[in-house]
Chain A
Amino acid sequence: MSFLVAAALVALAGLAVLRILRLGSGHPAADLPLAWLVGSGWVAAVVPVARFAAGLPLGRPSLLVVLLAPPAAWAALGWRARRAAAAERAGAQAGATSGAGREGAPGEGARWLPRPLWVFIPIAAYVVIVLAMTLLHGANTPTQTDDGERVRAFAPMLAFEDGWPPEARAILSIAGPLSTFVPVVGWVLSGTLDHFHVNYAILADLVALVALTVALASSRGAPERGWASAFGLLTLPLFVFHATSTYSDAVLAMRVGAAILFTVEYARRGDRADARLALLLLGIAAMVKREGELVAAAPAAVLVLWLVKEARDGRPFPWRSLALLVAPLMLCATGKIAAAGLLGAFPMLAFMAEQAGEVVTGTAPVQVTHEVATLFFDRALFRLGDQGMLYWIAAATIAVRARAIVRGRELWPLLAVGALFGEVLVSSVFLVPEFTLNHGTVHRALLVVSVPLALWTASTIADAVRAEAHAPSTAPAKGAPGGEGAEDATRPARRRARRRRRP
């Protein structure tokens, strides 16, 4: 119960942050899960700054201030906007617009039932069944400790105790602010430590991502894409298992996945609001685990490059969007540096630099690149089954749709996922090959690639089928989904026609 209250307050804070920033998906059904993802990011960004930089103890009053500040600001802004609108009306001018609205949302009709229904009913049933069993097992399973050194769900307990000796601050740097402070909200508000809140927080992320995936696509007229993406996501066995554990690998993957979801949407529609949300979510993803900053940096760099390219093509560069990425990063860095010092705040950067140094100087203990690469590409991606059939399907999709992808905007989200893949590849094959050889981390490291890739692949396939169904043919396909949504279709047929015209 205390978690539900906490989750509602976190989501309310997130919704308020979205409204203040004039962001949103354009539909309440998608805004609600998005509000949880953003609200938890707000808690993770602000609480460490308040605790370590400002020196405020983490208690019920300070936490309530953090949680209620965005709704209060939203209400104040709304009141001011209403007053301004009333003044305008009094001046007999044009109707006022709400200051809290979302910018630039092109009107797209929501459609909630995927077609053909007989195909999507089993798919939806599978999604519901796997989600239900993951929720049950995840909520039922007490924390299994990690190894001789670390206990993953331990960081929130240190936050609850709020004592913070140096060893505890080091654990905060390793776990990241999001995994440390979000499960604590319910404990601090209720005054009771319930170990299972760590599980619930991870499961809430899963529910939010699946709901966002389905609702976002449906609210934009393509429920097929949403259900296919959720289906793809929940056929990843190791991801499903991780969501039932108290490890943070699935959390990082889901946070990056949500950002890629909006990157894909930006590719489809070109609405800058989607790019802004993608950057904001990547900024929040950087607050998960010690590797969060490095993981989020790769797709963020691609997204920024994309915006730079668009600026060169004449579209103004969205500086405000960049602030949405930078602000959570700065807040996170401030909190962590205040807690653990500059050297202790970014342990992964130091670790990677050390590993890279060993590789460059040839002093790395494991130098079996060929064997490790074989294990990575053959076994981890395609054979062992931890990632399901995803890499087979993704490789085939890229091969079949190569021309359309390279010439279209779908390339950029794929490059973002590719950048993630490159990071994991370099880490698994060159920097820490021993953990690939013993299967220690390679499979869960791949989760940050697999989740976004599943979303991209399902989306690309669904769009391609739709485009193909609308393409002119000698004999029109019977029973094909018709009419709406042609704007989000990929364009193989159109491109072929353009090529024919060229000579």
Chain B
Amino acid sequence: MCPPSVSAPRLRARGRAWTCVLASVAVLAPARPLAAEPGLRPLGLDVLQDGVYQGTIHALGPDGLELSVEGTDSIRPPLHGVQVMELDVEVEGFLLLTWAVRTPGVEYTPFGPPWRHLTLAQGRSTVRLDFRIAKGWATSSEPQIGLTGSGRLVVRAARWLPIESDVARLLAAYDRANFWAPESIGHTTINFITPAIWSESRGVWLSDVVAALAAAVFVVVLAATRLREGRPRPALAMALAALLASSLWGAYLLVRFLPAFDLRPTPGREERIRENYSLAPDLGAMAALARQKLGPAERVGIVARQRDWFASQTLCFNLAPRPCVIVRQGEEVHRGISGVGSLRDDELDAIVFFRGEWTPPGFQRIAGIGPIRWLGRRRP
């Protein structure tokens, strides 16, 4: 209801404004997520089992397909052209799931942008893996599911959406999925976000579509003011066109960032370190454990894989202000982050072993989150 003091022209102006808003919504509506997506079909767990990496400890039992993960494991179901896969899972531990596709002729970079990943919640949950938004998806693609961390995963049921014969519908679903995909925050997001594309299949940029709409608004307002007021109002036309363009982009920013951002208020800093390393939940858990167990003046060495710069630096960083170095095999004097500070082997009070390739002698495990992620103190 409008207050009685509102004048008729102002009401008309409001009406026009709402028309603009509704028109904007109408523009975005065709790309509505999951619109008209057919139901998923059940997928036998034996099919998943066939794709489990050979070295992974796994078993198919009455509860489902159980996998014991330490480090990095993968499932490569012998399927082609999977659009979507839904898994009912039960999780214990700290596990990161990465989904990607292997497509003939396309470089396979599962951890490259856009890195599609999610931290699996403890307990039972359902995860939806949209393979269409993985890099290089095509009808010939093979789905790949990577598991990183330390823990136990039970897949209780699986469903999938195979490709359909109607190419137009398939492409429309592919475009919708990519348009509405949340931002995939990874190591490279600091350099660039995932490109905003209106139609992935046709290669149409979202910016081109928005710019065309804004240009149309500019021309219409210019003509309308010329007709109604006897003079064109280019500044007003520019303002409305800019407002439309910015609003659509702002709405798209919310679509992309709201699901990707961690918006749960978490007051405790230890809890934030433990739970919010979304790129490596096992690393966050290990950092929090080390912070809890180690004294403020203990001198720490990080033993991680040689090429794993992320784990070694992040652990050392989170242990500050404790003196911390990155321990390398064959070196007697070890350096800290960016080469700042050094400690000799015999000066280390404790080590954080995180999937290292070797174990320095003289340390005994005092706590851990699995066999290859543990905290050790020097033996007395």
Q: Which chain B positions have C-beta within 8 A of A195? A: 269, 273, 317-318, 320
| Contact mask for chain B residues 174-189; partner A; CB cutoff 8 A; 1 contact, 0 none | 0000000001010111
Q: With A and B bound together, what is the CA distance between A151 and B326 in angstroms? A: 14
Q: Which chain B positions have C-beta within 8 A of A235? A: 246, 249-250, 253
Q: Which chain B positions have C-beta within 8 A of A389? A: 207, 210-211, 214, 245-246, 248-249
- Asked if residues A136 and B242 are in contact (CB atoms below 8 Å), the reply is no
- Asked if residues A477 and B229 are in contact (CB atoms below 8 Å), the reply is yes
B55 to chain A minimum Cβ distance, whole angstroms, is 28
Q: Does B167 contact A (CB under 8 A)?
A: no
- Asked if residues A151 and B214 are in contact (CB atoms below 8 Å), the reply is no
- Asked if residues A479 and B339 are in contact (CB atoms below 8 Å), the reply is no
| Contact mask for chain A residues 211-247; partner B; CB cutoff 8 A; 1 contact, 0 none | 0000000000000000000011011011011101101
Of residues 216 to 259 in B, which have CB atoms within 8 Å of A's CB atoms?
218, 228-231, 233-239, 241-243, 245-250, 253-254, 256-258
Q: Which chain A positions have C-beta within 8 A of B195? A: 383-385
Q: Which of A144, A241, A385 contacts B206 (CB 8 A)?
A: A385
Q: With A and B bound together, what is the CA distance between A118 and B279 in angstroms? A: 41
Q: Which chain B positions have C-beta within 8 A of A478? A: 9-10
Given the known inter-chain contacts A157-B320, A474-B231, please indicate yes or no for A144 contacting B187, CB distance below 8 A.
yes
Q: Does B14 contact A (CB under 8 A)?
A: yes
B-binding segment of A159-167, A299-307, A321-329, A410-418: A159-167
Q: Does A279 contact B (CB under 8 A)?
A: no
Q: Which chain A positions have C-beta within 8 A of B185? A: 241
Q: With A and B bound together, what is the CA distance between A386 and B196 in angstroms? A: 8
Of residues 335 to 367 in A, which have CB atoms within 8 Å of B's CB atoms?
none
Q: Does B293 contact A (CB under 8 A)?
A: no
- Asked if residues A133 and B263 are in contact (CB atoms below 8 Å), the reply is yes
- Asked if residues A154 and B321 are in contact (CB atoms below 8 Å), the reply is no
Of residues 389 to 433 in A, which have CB atoms within 8 Å of B's CB atoms?
389, 392-393, 396-397, 400-401
Q: Does A158 contact B (CB under 8 A)?
A: yes
Q: With A and B bound together, what is the CA distance between A140 and B267 in angstroms? A: 8
Of residues 165 to 207 in B, which have CB atoms within 8 Å of A's CB atoms?
183, 185, 187-193, 195-196, 205-207
- Asked if residues B340 and A167 are in contact (CB atoms below 8 Å), the reply is yes
A-binding segment of B78-86, B115-123, B150-158, B308-316: B308-316
- Asked if residues A167 and B338 are in contact (CB atoms below 8 Å), the reply is yes
- Asked if residues A137 and B262 are in contact (CB atoms below 8 Å), the reply is yes
A127 to chain B minimum Cβ distance, whole angstroms, is 9
Q: Which chain B positions have C-beta within 8 A of A393? A: 214, 241-242, 245-246
Given the known inter-chain contacts A142-B272, A157-B320, A195-B273, please indicate yes or no for A397 contacting B229, CB distance below 8 A.
no
B-binding segment of A84-92, A98-106, A202-210, A465-473: A465-473
| Contact mask for chain B residues 108-129; partner A; CB cutoff 8 A; 1 contact, 0 none | 0000000000000000000000
Q: Does A495 contact B (CB under 8 A)?
A: no
Q: Does A464 contact B (CB under 8 A)?
A: yes
Q: Does A34 contact B (CB under 8 A)?
A: no
Q: With A and B bound together, what is the CA distance between A396 and B272 in angstroms? A: 44
Of residues 249 to 303 in B, which have CB atoms within 8 Å of A's CB atoms?
249-250, 253-254, 256-258, 261-266, 269, 272-273, 276-277, 279, 284
Q: Which of A141, A237, A441 contacts B276 (CB 8 A)?
A: A141
Q: Which of B188, B235, B265, B284 contacts A464 (CB 8 A)?
A: B235
Q: Which chain B positions have C-beta within 8 A of A468? A: 233-236
Of residues 124 to 148 in A, which have CB atoms within 8 Å of B's CB atoms?
126, 129-130, 133-134, 136-137, 140-148
Q: With A and B bound together, what is the CA distance between A140 and B284 in angstroms? A: 13
Q: Which chain B positions have C-beta within 8 A of A477? A: 229, 233
Q: Which chain A positions have C-beta within 8 A of B235? A: 400-401, 461, 464-465, 467-468, 490, 492
Q: Does A194 contact B (CB under 8 A)?
A: yes
> Binding site of B, secondary structure by majority: helix, strand, loop or mixed?
helix
Q: Which of B191, B234, B262 contacts A141 (CB 8 A)?
A: B262
Q: Does B341 contact A (CB under 8 A)?
A: yes
Q: With A and B bound together, what is the CA distance between A464 and B269 in angstroms? A: 47
Name which residue of chain B comes closest to A388, CB basis.
B249
Q: Which chain A positions have C-beta within 8 A of B192? A: 238, 384, 386, 439, 443
A interface bracket (residues with beta carbon within 8 Å of B):
35 or more
- Asked if residues B263 and A137 are in contact (CB atoms below 8 Å), the reply is yes
Given the known inter-chain contacts A145-B309, A389-B245, A479-B9, please indicate yes or no for A140 contacting B264, CB distance below 8 A.
yes
B155 to chain A minimum Cβ distance, whole angstroms, is 30
Q: Does A35 contact B (CB under 8 A)?
A: no
Q: With A and B bound together, what is the CA distance between A477 and B13 in angstroms? A: 12
Q: Which chain A positions have C-beta within 8 A of B208? A: 383
Q: Which chain B positions have C-beta within 8 A of A288? A: none
A387 to chain B minimum Cβ distance, whole angstroms, is 10
Q: With A and B bound together, what is the CA distance between A238 and B310 in angstroms? A: 22
A24 to chain B minimum Cβ distance, whole angstroms, is 30
Of residues 6 to 49 in B, which have CB atoms within 8 Å of A's CB atoms?
7, 9-10, 13-14, 17
- Asked if residues B317 and A154 are in contact (CB atoms below 8 Å), the reply is yes
Q: Which chain A positions have C-beta within 8 A of B372? A: none
Q: Does B367 contact A (CB under 8 A)?
A: no
Q: Which chain A positions have C-beta within 8 A of B193? A: 237-238, 241, 384-386
Q: Which of B190, B231, B237, B266 contacts A242 (CB 8 A)?
A: B190
B131 to chain A minimum Cβ distance, whole angstroms, is 23
Q: Does B337 contact A (CB under 8 A)?
A: yes
- Asked if residues A232 and B246 are in contact (CB atoms below 8 Å), the reply is yes
Q: With A and B bound together, what is the CA distance between A109 and B307 in angstroms? A: 61
- Asked if residues B276 and A140 are in contact (CB atoms below 8 Å), the reply is yes
- Asked if residues A144 and B339 are in contact (CB atoms below 8 Å), the reply is no
Q: With A and B bound together, what is the CA distance between A462 and B318 in angstroms? A: 46
Given the known inter-chain contacts A385-B206, A385-B207, A473-B230, please indicate yes or no for A136 contacting B338, CB distance below 8 A.
no
Q: Does A149 contact B (CB under 8 A)?
A: yes
Q: Which chain B positions have C-beta within 8 A of A161? A: 321
Name which residue of chain A comes closest to B187, CB basis.
A144
Name which residue of chain B comes closest to A479, CB basis.
B10
Q: Which chain A positions have C-beta within 8 A of B230? A: 473-475
A405 to chain B minimum Cβ distance, whole angstroms, is 12
Name which residue of chain B comes closest to A132, CB basis.
B263
- Asked if residues B229 and A475 are in contact (CB atoms below 8 Å), the reply is yes
Q: Which chain B positions have C-beta within 8 A of A154? A: 317, 337-338, 340
Q: With A and B bound together, what is the CA distance between A83 and B298 in angstroms? A: 57
Name which residue of chain B comes closest to A193, CB basis.
B321
Given the known inter-chain contacts A171-B340, A195-B273, A385-B196, please indicate yes or no for A247 contacting B190, CB distance below 8 A.
yes
* Closest 7 A/B residue pairs (Cβ): A385-B196, A474-B230, A464-B235, A137-B261, A148-B309, A145-B313, A389-B245
Chain A to chain B contacts (Cβ below 8 Å), 6 pairs? A126-B247, A133-B257, A142-B284, A145-B310, A237-B253, A392-B210
List 18 additional contacts besides A158-B340, A232-B246; criterion CB under 8 Å. Answer: A118-B17, A133-B261, A134-B261, A140-B263, A145-B313, A148-B309, A149-B338, A154-B338, A160-B320, A167-B339, A168-B340, A195-B320, A384-B195, A385-B196, A388-B246, A443-B192, A468-B236, A474-B229
